[in-house]
Structure 1
């Protein structure tokens, strides 16, 4: 499985990024993968390689490149509950400084770079994400309705920007929520907003999960939910990017 470490030109400098893609000498549909708040690390690289193995060029940018290359803070091999508060205390200033304007500016640069890669086929792309990346991916898909054909967000705050932003979505979407993040009532309100907006979507709570359930290097990891995530993500990409 070929991988690369790349530098993406942006309006504010160079964003380091990880890319994985099939070793077949062909062009493949592009997927922009937003990391969770902990950023690019071994588990994210492994997930990108897993997805690439299904026939996609996967680009994972360092969201907080303005503060240095990934990882922007030192991370333990396992991010357990005993170290999570300390790590998040270091990351929160970066998250708070990552304004909507920065998100959209970076998204333009990421998509421009992704679609220009020689291994990426012409046609629409997908955006997938985890945790805070869910908000970033939703904003990216809403801002690029003609380019993003699929949106998959897992344990992310996808409804934070309200129904007006959801109404801009033209991508087919899947939202996989942690049980500890969203009440059934809140899920109903989100789904009603998606219905009103006419979005083609699935949106569900993954049973028995807490925030971060896809990440195997955290205490939140749930192996059954991770498999459910793949079972939802791969058919979505196959439907929307098959002709790319």
Structure 2
């Protein structure tokens, strides 16, 4: 493994308001001056401009929570990678389990969204993960490999430019967390899959995204194939998020 910097990415989901965002981002910028990892905030689209201004001059990167596979056109409610790029967006989440579950997004659409992001210099954070039923049926490895395979097949040699986030669906917003050993086991499977797909597998960061918080971050981040976290609820609380950032240093 190379000594690459870990990445801690906050996913605000559909949370936030102008006043709360201002206080949160200012607290993060002030508190992460000595951060040794990469840090990003994936915020709702209406707040991209606000957070872009607030993060100015800091190492805090801006992320979007989704991106369209289309370049432009009659796609009401969608936003293209080119639009996101104009707001200084560095990362875009694709294939989050909530998008797969509530919006019916399949593996190929997720792969196409990743391709659209890459075409505009935006790093897609590609989410993969199994449901509780799939885990109990012993299908975890099959499911995550299928989800990642679609992205690899569609993006070919560009695959070393993505970020992968393993998010066991049964551990998102439930308070349940995979043990460090369970998480590492799946991360190792994904790493092996990337080794077979690219000459630069160690350039790909693999994040853990299932209820990582201030209390469990250090033990998860100590695992050899866990390169950071995709943080939900804890990213809305400056002290908690800063503690995770410190654990990733």
Provide the TM-score with structure 1 as the length reference: 0.37
**TM, length-normalised to structure 2:** 0.36
More strand by share: 1
RCO higher in structure (CA 8 A, sep ≥6): 2
Which has more helix, going by share of residues?
A: 2
